Amino acid sequence: MRKYIVSIARNLRNGLRVFVASKGAGIWPIDTAYYRRRYGGLLAGKSPSYHYTLNGRGIAFDPLPLFDSEFYAAQLRGCHIPVGMTLLDHYLAEGAAQGFDPSPLFSTSAYLMFNPDVAAAGVNPLEHFVKSGEREGRRWFDSEAPEMLAIARGVLNGDQGNRYARWIIATRLSYFIDEAYYRSRHGVTESPLAHYVNHGGDPEMSPHPMFDARHYRMETGLNELPTGVTWIEHFLTAEITKRQAPSLLFDQADYLAMNPDVAMSGVDPFEHFVRWGEREGRFPISLERADLEARILQVLTEVPNHPYALRLWIECLLARGEGSGAVAALNELEDKLPRPLLENLLGQALQQTGNIDAAVTSYSLSESLSGTDALHIDANVASVLAREGYRAEMRGELKIAEASYRMALTKGLKEAQLIRERLANLVFASGDRDMAMNLLAARAKDGSTRVIDMPLTSVTEHCAQGIGRYFELFPERPIEPIEPEFLRPPTALESESGTLTAPPFYLAVLDECTAASRCNVVLHQGTLVSDQATHPRSGKAVFGDRLNEHQVIRARHGGNVLIEWPTKESLHIPCGLMMFGVQSRNFGHWGCEYLPRLLAYDSLPELREFPIIVDSGMPKTHLESLSLLNEFGREVITLEPEQVVTFGQLAMAPVPTYFPLDGVGGYSYDAVWPRDVLRAMKEMVLKAVERRLGVPARRGRRLFISRHAFASRQMLNEAEVRSMLTDHGFETIYPEEMSFIEQVDTFRSASMVVGSCSSALSNTLYCPDRTPVIGLIHDEPSFNFRGYSSYSDAGGASILFVQSPVAPGQHAVHAFHRSYSVDTAVLRAALIWAERRGNSRAALTL
């Protein structure tokens, strides 16, 4: 490929006539062969230099392939050119110094930037390039700039013999030609680049495994392209956001969603994958796509040895944890995959089977065959071992994960702290306390934190030992089962159904304890007190307690826990009510986890003087809810981030049910909420609103909850849905713009609610009994449908879920936050259900 580009450069040099004398114009560059080719019929026996001297003030004649008279004149903006001076003379005398460019193909400033010695010498950049720069191989255009391809094509359309434009096009296209694939696929023996430049307008000629020209042509609906234009050039010059897919195996939206760094950079995603992403181990399409295997089979049917299809097939096996199957498959593909890739995939497969030593051998061979410097091979192998070890841990294969982490650290893993922490958690769980302590202690070298091994217990168990005061408002009790209702039968739900045993709803007061802002855990008498971390199902939970950007809970084993805790001096507060903690600033979490605590705090008269302790950064609605419900006028104290606090007395109350923040490795837990606590909270809130506002001023309102202000879980066709619902008597509300009391007042007057399943939908708790609610959501089976159902049910509302397919490009987004579009015809059917179920007064006309 390089030989082809070099041959273009050689032809340019041979064809260039550098300097010629011209009457009245002095010495200046002109390509006589170029001039004769373009204007030979107009010379009338005159030399090119003389002809240009006579006519060079106008825009009709270009003296060089790199001097476009019309382009240059457009930059002058009325500048006076003395009599006898051509446009080229003006550029040489004044234009370059003023930053003008002689051609869209040649940038004055860029050439000087690429060649600082030329800038220092004060030489005209075009003069330098024509005299010697080209011969010296100087960089004269930015081959990394995607726009150069379209610019060069534009020049070539007006000047089909422009060699420099052809040079630029060939250089840009060279990045997208896989020589080995091209030769194998098309039986080409000459330079693949030279062949493709001449034949790339044929849709049967695909330059790269990730660019299927036939597929792309079908996607665009075009039959043919202008003469000389290749299909990949057409693709590369199309507006990125409006491009058609280049192949079945590359999805632009997936790639950007999986690689936010690429999205932030603004780099062409296809170019990024072809030039860098594939080598970095990135995937061209999400492995979570339901139709991925069908796509792979279709590609392999057409191109049996397609390297990326084969790779993705193996990656699918590996993603499912089928290491043995992947090993068997790879043994049959020895001659069908590039050897470095084959060894890398084999290493992953062997690692999955627990054969770590053999995996290291394959990884090392892959690196060596890829040309990696011997000094860097071990570090690269360590990185892959750590990555695949983490995936094994997420699959629950803890022994493989532990062995992988150990080997990664032995191999000199760079930036190893995260893996040290993962390994510490595993070895502590298996009883190796000393190694876990050593692994964790390595991070906090500045003394700002310390690792502590202490007992772990729940609030109820802790107080049962006679430590602290403890009162139960509701004892442990069964939760009534609930089955989510769907308009259409869903696929089998994948989340784990929440426990049907409600924990005791208590009030506890601990003396002389320590806590921290935005954390749930409490330290008391050498024990870590946490309801969540002691729950039987907490093994796969993500704990949100973080200080100094690190998890507080590092590892657990039996009844003990390793924590990392700040050593800085703490703030002392004599007494307080715990209304701070993980996710306290989120509206949905605040409503279901924090506000119910006021029921407990208000039950004990002696706590009426205790201040309410909250996190900083609380939304205005949260503080408004406290103001509404703060019947005894308690002081509200705000904790700054990372603030450690010692309390003389701290009153605590629980979350009404076990409700983990998230799950590891795609694990999803669907909490079921008890009616009694939430029903009591509903009554508390509604009574407070009625004291403030009286009875609802309006009733029978049909509400549509907008989600237009949010970037995640978007309803992509909200405008269409809003219009349809408006025709049926719905008003659109924007909860994020309303106060807390306005939200409650609005929902207590509702007769029907439609909205996306989000935090705002938790307001349905305050709806009148039997209010029908239509929850719009995507079709991800791991979503917490039971949670939404039981929460609304606790307030007396019944919810019907209307699922819509996940929008394209969402497969790499967290399953809960994927966007979708609603079929309005399906929504109309749901409205019929709501009319039959609810107590609406006005009939719908459907």
Output the CA torsion sign for 735, 740, 742, 747.
Answer: positive
Nearest-angstrom CA–CA distance, 58 and 99: 21
Strand pairing category for 553-557 and 560-566: antiparallel
Could you say which DSSP state residue 594 is in?
Answer: I
Q: Which residues is 455 bridged to in the sheet?
A: 560
**Looking at the chain, how many residues does it have?**
846
| Alpha-carbon radius of gyration of the chain | 35
pLDDT at 666: 73
Exposed/middle/buried for 197, CB within 10 Å: 0-12, 13-18, 19+?
Answer: buried
Angle between helices 398-410 and 374-394 (to 10 degrees): 160
Instruction: Please report, as a single letter, which amino acid is at residue 671.
Output: A
Nearest of 343, 325, 321 to residue 334 by alpha carbon: 343
Predicted local confidence at residue 8, as pLDDT: 45
| Contacts with 504 (C-beta within 8 Å, 6 or more apart), sequence order | 460, 472, 474, 475, 476, 654
Question: What is the pLDDT, as a whole number, of residue 844?
Answer: 43
Give me the pLDDT at residue 21, please: 32
CB-neighbour burial class of residue 358 (10 A; exposed 0-12, middle 13-18, buried 19+): middle
Pairing of strands 644-652, 662-663: unpaired
Contact 448, 548 (CB under 8 A): yes
Q: Looking at residue 278, what DSSP letter applies?
A: T
Q: What is the number of other CB atoms lying within 10 angstroms of the CB of residue 340?
A: 17
**Domains of the chain and any CATH numbers:** 2-143 (no CATH), 450-663 (no CATH), 695-837 (3.40.50)
Q: Are 841 and 751 in contact (CB under 8 A)?
A: yes
In the chain (846 residues long), the average pLDDT of successive 10-residue segments reads 48 35 43 91 90 90 94 88 89 93 95 95 93 90 89 92 93 94 93 95 96 97 93 95 95 89 92 92 88 95 93 92 94 88 95 97 96 95 95 88 96 91 89 89 73 96 95 96 93 90 97 97 97 91 86 88 92 98 93 97 96 96 96 96 97 96 82 97 98 94 90 87 96 96 97 94 95 94 93 95 82 76 95 81 42
Which pLDDT score is estimated for 809?
65
With 0-12 / 13-18 / 19 or more C-beta atoms within 10 angstroms meaning exposed / middle / buried, residue 695 is exposed
